[in-house]
Structure 1
């Protein structure tokens, strides 16, 4: 996965001009971070259709988006402050390379899981973000909750049911969960005593 970090306005403008986007290199960027959220095909419809892509609107959009795909994390590493320079810290998270086919990553080989406490994971942002999205595969219905600086719930989203691969669930694996607000300081994931993995975690300032 290539590395990039640029304003989303530049990303959108570039993706409109060329069918095969290239990425500008930036020095000292960790190889596991990719800021080009707009290039994830599954995100394109719900994530970008809500944006005003008129020329005037694109000029004033100065958000930066970061996508984490976990690929350079070693299996079973505790995930906490590795991405602090990108603006996020995690709690109760470990990196895994799933051996159970019921939990397929969205991309690559790696994902993160809520552990050692099962069914829960938290991400705190260094400064407020506007939206958070990720792909979730879980043994139970999973709820994504967003909170402001006063710890008030300001947005939430959830999967309708468990969505393990090769199950009878109507919800396929790697369901997209996303929340939007102007002042998201942290998000939590709860699977109600179930197990879940997250992949391609994306947030925009």
Structure 2
């Protein structure tokens, strides 16, 4: 499998606390990254496949979920890219209320009433994903000692073909120094995430 990467421009990312979705009227491509590589990482690919000149540069990774099987538990499939998941499964949504953002596969919580969690093997400074949820959802970022660094909130449901105020696949992001873990929690709701991305 070949690696697809694009070089993009300078970024200004600021840590904010309890940011709401109304504050974030942007898309993933609105960020400008200086000397960064956006790499579309497949689980079958390893970082060793990346050109040595690229490895020396700080990177942004967008996970390619298309190699995952429907209902596969997702835990260590992207470990070589520096992220582990907990309480997470891959699905191909059959409910039109939960459309994908790209491709056919999204991630969702494996058990109701629990948050989907991603832990980074080395700290990152930015995390984002496109989220569709049946109700209010909070994306939280934590430091090394599990201290809360920052949060962003989808204030209500954003299902497709409904009277929701927000559109499906709303981009949520958090930015802070030394993020070691993020959680997505919809408090008894159901949600999907797509195009999970993070920057070192």
TM-score, normalisation: structure 2: 0.76
Counterpart Cα distance in 1 of 2:152 and 2:2: 29
Mapped pair 1:75 → 2:60: no
Deviation of 1:155 (Å): 1.1
Normalized per residue, which structure has more helix? 1
Where has structure 1 moved over 2 Å in runs of 4 or more? Answer: 1-5, 116-119
The residue aligned with 2:7 is: 11
1:170 is aligned to 165
Unaligned runs of 5+ in 2: 10-25, 36-55
The residue aligned with 1:120 is 115
Distance in 2 separating the partners of 1:166 and 1:3: 35
Q: Please list, as runs of the form range in 1=range in 2, the aligned pairs for 1:35-54 lying within 5 A after superposition.
A: 42-45=27-30, 47-48=31-32
For residues 41-80 of structure 1, give each alpha carbon's deviation from its aligned partner in whole angstroms, at most 9, with x where no partner exists: 93122x33xx579xxxxxxx94211101311100000000
Q: Deviations over 1:106-131 (max 9, x none)?
A: 00110010112345200000000010
* Count of residues in correspondence between the two structures: 164
Structure 2 counterparts to residues 1-205 of structure 1, below 5 A: 3-4=3-4, 11-12=7-8, 42-45=27-30, 47-48=31-32, 62-118=57-113, 120-205=115-200
2:114 and 2:193 map into 1 onto residues whose CA distance is: 12
The two structures, once aligned, show a CA RMSD in angstroms of: 2.2
Instruction: Check 1:126–1:202 CA distance in 2 against 1; reply closer, same or farther (3 A cut).
Output: same
CA distance in 2, matches of 1:204, 1:2: 21
- 1:81-119 alpha-carbon deviations (Å, 9 max, x no partner): 000000000000000000000000100110010112345
Instruction: State how far apart, in whole Å, the 1-side matches of 2:2 and 2:97 are.
Output: 27
The structure with the largest strand share of the pair is: 2
Taking the aligned partners of 2:4 and 2:113, their CA distance within structure 1 comes to: 33
Conserved in 2, the CA contact under 8 Å of 1:69 and 1:111? no
Q: What is the alpha-carbon distance in structure 2 between the residues aligned to residue 12 and residue 176 of structure 1?
A: 19
Q: Could you tell me how far apart the structure 2 residues matched to 1:2 and 1:175 are?
A: 29
Which blocks of at least 5 consecutive residues in structure 1 are unaligned? Answer: 14-40, 54-60
